Amino acid sequence: MSNANTSLDAALEGLADVTLGSSPSIWPLAWGWWVLIILTIVLIAALVIFVVKYRNKRRIKSKALAAVIQINESDPQALRKLHSILRAAVMHYFPAKNVSKLHGSAWQEFLVSKAKGQKRITKQITAELMALESSLYTKNPSISLADAKQSVTGWIQCCLPPSKVSDNAAADAAADNDTSIYKNDSKNQGVQHV
């Protein structure tokens, strides 16, 4: 055995020491990691864009609600201010050229049509909005400021900003209103428009 031990010792002395290589580096990354990084960046950018658009779309709604709250009951023009806040908010979200033409019963019908399908808009709210409109032209308003503020706030909260489906319906309704205006003109003036 001593002969085997000496040959084993001689063989071991001829071997070099075991060296640990450097640990593997993460660079360069495999293509799968690059895809994951790019997808993450795209998702974060899309989320930021969505949040910014969401906030911008609802900014006017928030400003209108804040303005309604700030109307003072002692102001003699309070109902007019409330009506102008509602009108300005509506004109921001719907085509202003079509909405600016609406007055009286046409304006009331517009508000009611936009409230259709909204579960939280009651008949009382729509009646109060109609009373607000008619109170603008009388000395003694038929609606209290508190009720008017509540109905305007409820309508703005539920109906603004409009959904994409109601945007298309609003464009169609505006086109119908434009043609009905021409029809009324033709009846009054005896001119037919084709």
pLDDT confidence band for 174 (50 / 70 / 90): very low
* Domain annotation covers residue 18: no
Residue 142 above 80 pLDDT?
yes
Q: What is the pLDDT of residue 1?
A: 56
Judged against a pLDDT cut of 50, whether residue 120 lies above it is answered with yes
pLDDT for the residue 115: 83
In the predicted model, is pLDDT for residue 64 greater than 90?
yes
Query: Poorest-confidence range of 2-11, 30-39, 84-93, 141-150?
Result: 2-11
User: Two tokens at 124?
Assistant: 């009382």
Where residue 154 falls among pLDDT bands split at 50, 70, 90? very high
Separation CA 48–CA 58 (nearest Å):
16
Q: Identify whether 35 is part of a domain.
A: no
- The pTM score is 0.64
CA atoms within 13 A on the CB side of 49: 6
Top-confidence residue, 194 or 133 = 133
**Residue 32 forms part of a structural domain:** no
pLDDT in tens, 179-189: 333 333 333 34
Domain for residue 116, yes or no? yes
Q: Is pLDDT above 60 for 173? A: no
Is 137 inside any structural domain?
yes
Residue 181 included in any domain: no
Residue 151 clears pLDDT 70, i.e. is over it? yes
Q: Let me know: does 110 contact 99? Beta carbons within 8 Å.
A: yes
* % of the chain beyond a pLDDT of 90: 35
Domain assignment present for residue 125? The answer is yes
The mean per-residue pLDDT over the stretch 80-108 comes to 88
Q: Per-residue confidence at 165, pLDDT binned at 50, 70, 90? A: low
User: What distances in angstroms separate CA 40 from CA 29, 33, 37, 51, 116, one per listed residue?
Assistant: 16, 10, 5, 17, 41
Residue 189's pLDDT is what? Answer: 40
136 within domain boundaries: yes
The number of distinct structural domains making up the chain is 1
Q: Which domain holds residue 156?
A: 58-176
Mean pLDDT of the chain: 80
Look up residue 104 and give its DSSP letter.
T
